[in-house]
């Protein structure tokens, strides 16, 4: 009787190649997404109490807050860029034998991202 040979995957499989490592970083950006979502919850909780919001607002102007935000921003940007880069794989528009250029699909999504960001910034900052 023969059995299938199952090779055990080494635990450090993802550090061995740059592409594997990038993949793992990409997946772990979900932690940054969750972290900022939690921050948003705290922000709204603080906004409900008029008296103490001033202190929270001041804390947002501290160097520690800026540094933390920038770290989270870098990770979330990596999430955004890799996510939109995958859109051509999901949105396959065929015309007969031909396909709409994947670059066009990705570019349209990046443009949509820029437009949405611009609208949100304008709405909040005006």
- Binding residues for other proteins, per CB under 8 A? 11, 14, 24, 27-28, 30-31, 33-34, 36-41, 43-45, 47-48, 53-54, 57, 60-61, 65-66, 68-70, 72-73, 76-77, 79-80, 83-84, 112-113, 116-117, 120-121, 123-125
> CA of 99: how far to CAs of 65, 88, 95, 105, 113, in Å?
46, 10, 6, 11, 23
**Smallest gap from residue 104 Cβ to other proteins (A):** 19
Q: Which is nearer to other proteins, 76 or 107 (CB)?
A: 76
Distance between CA atoms of 120 and 60, rounded to whole angstroms?
A: 20
> CA of 21: how far to CAs of 14, 28, 30, 33, 110, in Å?
5, 11, 15, 19, 24
Q: Which is nearer to other proteins, 8 or 94 (CB)?
A: 8
Q: Which is nearer to other proteins, 69 or 104 (CB)?
A: 69
């Amino acid at each position: 009787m023969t059995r299938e040979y199952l090779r055990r995957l080494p635990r450090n499989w993802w550090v061995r190649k740059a592409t594997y490592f990038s993949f793992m970083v990409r997946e772990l950006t979900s932690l940054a997404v969750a972290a900022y979502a939690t921050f948003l919850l705290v922000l709204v909780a603080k906004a409900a109490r008029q008296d103490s919001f001033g202190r929270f607002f001041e804390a947002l102007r501290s160097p520690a807050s800026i540094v933390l935000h920038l770290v989270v921003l870098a990770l979330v940007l990596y999430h955004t860029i890799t996510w939109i880069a995958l859109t051509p794989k999901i949105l396959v528009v065929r015309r007969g034998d031909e396909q709409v250029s994947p670059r066009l699909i990705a570019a349209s999504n990046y443009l949509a991202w820029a437009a949405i960001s611009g609208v949100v910034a304008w709405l909040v900052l005006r």
